[in-house]
């Protein structure tokens, strides 16, 4: 790996001025999502007896969310722990869809607002008959989404730790 001596300040932003307020928030979103996705992979792997290849297959399946929720329900946990994990996985998939819109859709300065900072996105759904979707993007919403992925990361990694400790016959406390 080569070491670069340039700092962020040495490089100008490559995007138009309309998009510059989003650069830092999107960078944090990309990284928190990647870390969260890695924690989810670890969780699924632990639920499958530490089998990462099976976990990858589950997460790439068309019904991945349903399979993960089924695995969670088979853990034998109940009460708040079960509720928190099920809700976290469910919301993760909702937020993942929002993240995918931000990462994969076309960005454009909005013509609807005359003030600086109004930015929209346009994309197509992945349905059999794709539909065009539009949305407005807000920097604060991108930050909130990144924070939620950080929270999911903590939830998934903690539950992975508990499962691993239980498999090893040690207390998770």
Over the stretch 59-103, which tens digit does the pLDDT of each residue have? 999 999 999 999 999 998 999 999 999 999 999 999 999 999 999
pLDDT per residue as tens digits for the range 8-22: 667 877 766 777 888
Is residue 160 within 8 A of residue 43, CB to CB? The reply is: yes
pLDDT over 90, % of the chain: 62
Q: What is the dihedral of CA 51, 92, 161, 151, to 10 degrees?
A: 150
1: tokens are 């790996």
SS3 assignment, position 76: coil
Q: Could you state, in order of their start, the residue ranges of all structural domains in the chain?
A: 16-165
pLDDT in tens, 135-156: 888 999 999 999 999 999 999 9
């Amino acid at each position: 790996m080569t070491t670069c001596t340039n700092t962020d300040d040495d490089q100008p932003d490559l995007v138009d001025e309309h998009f510059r307020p989003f650069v830092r928030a999107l960078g944090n979103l990309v990284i928190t999502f990647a870390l969260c996705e890695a924690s989810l992979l670890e969780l699924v792997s632990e639920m499958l007896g530490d089998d990462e290849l099976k976990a990858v297959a589950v997460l790439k399946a068309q019904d991945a969310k349903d399979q993960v929720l089924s695995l969670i329900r088979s853990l034998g946990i109940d009460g708040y722990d079960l509720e928190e994990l099920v809700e976290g996985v469910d919301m993760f998939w909702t937020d993942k869809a929002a993240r995918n819109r931000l990462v994969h859709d076309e960005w454009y300065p909005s013509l609807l607002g005359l003030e600086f900072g109004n930015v929209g996105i346009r994309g197509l759904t992945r349905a059999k008959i794709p539909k065009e979707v539009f949305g407005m993007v807000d920097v604060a919403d991108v930050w909130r989404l990144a924070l939620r992925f950080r929270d999911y990361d903590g939830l998934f990694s903690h539950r992975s730790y508990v499962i691993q400790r239980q498999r090893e016959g040690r207390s998770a406390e």
